[in-house]
Amino acid sequence: MVVRIRGRALPHGEPVDLYADGDRWTTDPVPDVEPVAEGWLLPGLVDAHTHPGAEAPGDPLDHGLLREHLRQHVDAGVAVIRAPGLADEPPPWFGVDPGTPRAWHAGPWLAQHGQFFDGWGRRADHDRLPAIAAAQAGRTGWAKVIGDWGPTGDPVPLAVLTAVVEAVHAVGGRVAVHTQQAAGGEAAVLAGADSLEHGMLLDRSLLARMAERGTALTPTLSVLERTAPEVRRRPDSPGKRWFLRGAESHAALVAAAAEAGVRVLAGTDSVPHGRILDEVRALAGAGLRPHAALAAASWDARAYLGLPGLQPGAPADAVVYAEDPRTDLDQLAHPTAVILRGRRVR
């Protein structure tokens, strides 16, 4: 059955009438086909920071759980995910199986010795990190480096991180860097990383450089804000003070990044999966206009991954809403239809 959508397409709200020719949108009409849905149209939501397939840090990748987590994403209208770190290399169907989101991933995380969660990732000597990262990016397009860890862990030295970025770029890949320290964030920006994950405590003087270089920020704001109340109840410690200092200033940092022209991407980094609406709300609560908060979870995030929006020739993903979600972000919780790879999945 040919899927047809009709309505006002964001980001501009122009009227469109599209048919799914397999997994591509076309304007070529098909006789006697009724629209699958009409309304306000988004070109498929994106969760740009999610780690499906495991319940807790250190758990092995569970293929059944991976499918369940991906289903939760689809139920929320997410047609694309980026997984900057997985518990293991995923199965061949990951990212291509009908009914599951398109996926970009960086394989297992790359970390320094003594850092990151036991049982996850690959720990390597500094002199081996560039080659390992390049090999990973050569397979999947991305490598993910744990640039710093906790309040006191030494960040990856700038020279090492620069060598990683250069090696990955040489094979046509991109580098995501986990950073929650000021020093680690500075090293990631100066090294030319393609995206900063979390970016907690980042020095705002670096934002202009990020905007100039096209370095994205995936702040995972909602999970930090959701975790802060529990951390406040803990006994005083340097770790508690570090986390709260970063979490409580993070919204203002995200707003400053957007104001500086940094591309902000929406990512949830959380279990249960399918909570992209939480992140969009958090971005709007930080001061981003609803239009910009939606862009971070839809058309702008898709563009960052090389996917065009609702236009002929583009991948046939869409989410349909009864009302303009820019005027009511809660619309994201109530799609009237979800189209993935040219098929209606909700």
Question: DSSP letter string over 252-278?
Answer: HHHHHHHHTTPPB------SSS--HHH
pLDDT score for 31: 76
For 117, residues 6+ apart whose C-beta sits below 8 A from its C-beta are: 57, 58
- In a shared domain, residues 252 and 345: no
Q: Are 293 and 42 in contact (CB under 8 A)?
A: no
By C-alpha distance, which of 197, 130, 194, 137 is closest to 159?
130
- In a shared domain, residues 66 and 175: yes
Residue 312's domain is classified under what CATH number?
2.30.40.10
For 64, residues 6+ apart whose C-beta sits below 8 A from its C-beta are: none
Antiparallel, parallel or unpaired: β 337-340 and 4-9 = unpaired
- In a shared domain, residues 275 and 336: no
Local confidence pLDDT in tens for the 346 residues of the chain: 689 999 999 999 999 999 998 999 999 987 777 777 899 999 999 999 999 999 999 999 999 999 999 999 999 999 999 999 999 999 999 999 999 999 999 999 999 999 999 999 999 999 999 999 999 999 999 999 999 999 999 999 999 999 999 999 999 999 999 999 999 999 999 999 999 999 999 999 999 999 999 999 999 999 999 999 999 999 999 999 999 999 999 999 999 999 999 999 999 998 889 999 999 999 999 999 999 999 999 999 999 999 999 999 999 999 999 999 999 999 999 999 999 999 999 8
Give me the domain span that covers residue 38.
1-43+308-346
pLDDT score for 327: 95
pTM: 0.96
For 276, residues 6+ apart whose C-beta sits below 8 A from its C-beta are: 45, 46, 47, 73, 76, 77, 78, 266, 268, 297, 332
- In a shared domain, residues 313 and 204: no
- In a shared domain, residues 32 and 121: no
pLDDT score for 102: 98
Peptide bond into 272 cis (omega under 30): yes
- In a shared domain, residues 224 and 321: no
- In a shared domain, residues 292 and 230: yes
- In a shared domain, residues 165 and 205: yes
Helices (H), 150-237: 158-170, 182-191, 207-213, 221-232
Element (H, E) at 282: helix 276-286
- In a shared domain, residues 261 and 234: yes
What is d(CA 121, CA 287) in angstroms, rounded to the nearest whole number? 35
Radius of gyration of the chain (CA): 20
Q: Are 289 and 4 in contact (CB under 8 A)?
A: no
- In a shared domain, residues 151 and 240: yes
- In a shared domain, residues 50 and 15: no
pLDDT score for 32: 72
- In a shared domain, residues 181 and 222: yes
* Domain count within the chain: 2
pLDDT score for 46: 98
